[in-house]
Structure 1
Amino acid sequence: MIVPFQALACPLDGAALHRSGNAWQCGSGHSFDISSQGYTHLLPVQRKRSRDPGDSKEMVASRRRFLGSGAYDPIAQATNRMVLAGAPVGANMACLDAGCGEGHYLRRLTASAGPDMTLALVGLDISKWAVQSAARQDKQMTWLVGSNANLPIRSGSLDWILCMFGFPVYAEFARVLKPGGQLLQVDAGSRHLHELREIIYPAIKAERKNTVSEPPGFERMESDMLNYSVPLSSMEQISDLLAMTPHLYRAKAEDVAKAKALTRLSITVDVRLARFRLKPTSL
């Protein structure tokens, strides 16, 4: 069962937010409307680094199409196993996807949870286009425009945080997790999209070791590597993959054009999943 996530905090003064009709309000009088699509904008303009931060509308659409093809389904399955494996029968779990994009991984988590579980799920992204897309696809979860650097979440309110190819801010993650709360971080491995990178870059940096270190305030519980191949069978699918990665902007235009002209490409998916637990002394 999915229930609304209620433990929101005002992004201006950190006070608890309470829902009143179609808005969230704090005791200081700050008010934040819930949009018609079902999300709330909690990123103050003074904390924006650009006029329209995060992924563009086009990038979000590309990610939605690519993830919808099932190419990254094994990542979602591995994520769900790590999060749900130790959950007791009848568990109540509050989970944040920090950098949720269009909500793919939270939706997959919901689909894998047992009927006896109660999940309070919140997805946050700095891109309003991503959060709009997520809110349109699922009305049960809480969707927020916000920043990992200043999470609009009350301290000590989360059991889990997912950071899927995102930008972790460990001090904030430690603040909002409950004692013993856990973080699952998924990052690209050394061989991730190697075949694509060979096409769009004149030279590829030496492969780094797939090692993982403990973030400040956390202890490592487990880590695993996931490696498999995916055949891409159309120009559209290859273009969508390019559009959802930073490689689209890092590579030269002529090299990107070479990749977009391909009609077939087999890629390697190589990711590291690392699970950490908040140390008791970190709060």
Structure 2
Amino acid sequence: MNITPFQALACPLDGAPLQRCGSTWRCQAGHSFDIASHGYAHLLPVQHKRSRDPGDSKEMVAARRRFLNAGYYQPIAAAVSAAALADLPATARAACLDAGCGEGYYLRQLAAATGKGQTLALLGLDISKWAILAAAKQEPRPNWVVGSNARLPVQTGSIDRLLCLFGFPAHAEFARVLKPNGQLLQVDAGPDHLRQLREIIYPRLKPEATAKVQPPPGFASLASENLRYALHLAGQETIADLLAMTPHLYRASTERRALAAELTTLSLTVDVRLTRFVVT
């Protein structure tokens, strides 16, 4: 396998191509963005932020790193990697973006699954600077950037595979940056995903929608698969890490969080849907 950093970045201010000049990225208009000592770039202008420190906190990122590195979601990562590589020739050169990459777990798994003759140019993007810092520390080969899915700092028509896993899809932007026949791989929680944890956190669960997933504008459906398996967690720390990496932590009452904190074991259902779309 050959993993290289993705280079076709775009200025987040005017959309012009960025060129790397030493330890900065610059566009022709003179906008300049420093590259941090760990190799990542901050391409989220202050005027595009909704808060001073958007995205996951340092503590949430650390919890997610511990949980994912323990292998609990490895079957999801394996399914995503297989789907991303399925239609690529054995000697392909392809660019892949993980939009909302967190601390980089799924992109690292994709890199490990890449065939010997294939070359992948990898880009991980997240709105959380703490997530990107953690990703860059663990794997230096991809290009890591702090940025927003709503305004991807990526040149138009430059991506072959785009991953959006448990994230916030911006389908118009995804369609813009994908090449003709480029693919979007989207992972969403199924109706039973972490149900046992949610039953502890919430007094009542909302009924789950069962409508067939329709392709977003600009895309056609390629394939869809459901992945379901049992997960057994032992130890208060591991259970706390799972809760901390989900939105349920902030939606739960103090009493419900206290109930979850007392658990020493927890058996869960992992239930996710992996859908592949092709840009039209």
Residue 93 in structure 1 maps to residue 94 in structure 2 = yes
SS at match of 1:256: helix
Letter in 1 for 2:189: A
Tell me the residue number matched to 2:172: 171
**Counterpart position of 1:75:** 76
Deviation at 1:257, TM superposition (A): 1.1
CA deviations 1:165-187 (Å, max 9, x no partner) are 00000110010000110000000
Could you tell me the TM-score, scaled by structure 1's length? 0.97
The one-letter amino acid paired with 1:158 is I
Q: Which residue of 1 aligns with 2:125?
A: 124
**Aligned CA-pair RMSD:** 0.7
AA aligned to 2:39 is: G
Q: TM-score, structure 2 length as denominator?
A: 0.99
**Structure 1 residues not aligned, in runs of 5+:** none
Structure 2 partner of 1:153: 154
| Residues 210 and 272, structure 1, Cα contact 8 Å, conserved in 2 | no
Residues 8-19 of structure 1: pairs in structure 2 closer than 5 A:
8-19=9-20
Whether the 8 Å CA contact 1:190–1:210 is kept in 2: the answer is no
Count of aligned positions: 279
Paired with 2:189 and 2:111, the residues of 1 have a C-alpha distance of: 24
Q: How does 1:45-64 map to 2 (within 5 A)?
A: 45-64=46-65
1:135 match: 136
The alignment status of 1:38 with 2:44, answered yes or no, reads no
| Equivalent pair of 1:5/1:121 in contact (CA under 8 Å) | yes
SS at match of 2:187: strand
- 1:266 paired residue number: 267
1:209 alignment partner in structure 2? 210
User: How far is the alpha carbon of 1:4 from its aligned partner?
Assistant: 2.0
Structure 2 Cα separation of the partners of residues 139 and 100 of structure 1: 14
Match of 1:75, SS?
Answer: helix
**Following TM superposition, where does structure 1 have runs of at least 4 consecutive aligned residues deviating by more than 6 angstroms?**
none
- State whether structure 2 residue 229 is matched by structure 1 residue 225: no
Point out where structure 2 has 5 or more consecutive residues left out of the alignment: none
Q: Matched residues in 1 for 2:216 and 2:208: separation?
A: 22
- Overall identity of the aligned pairs, in %: 63
1:242 is paired with a residue of what secondary structure?
helix
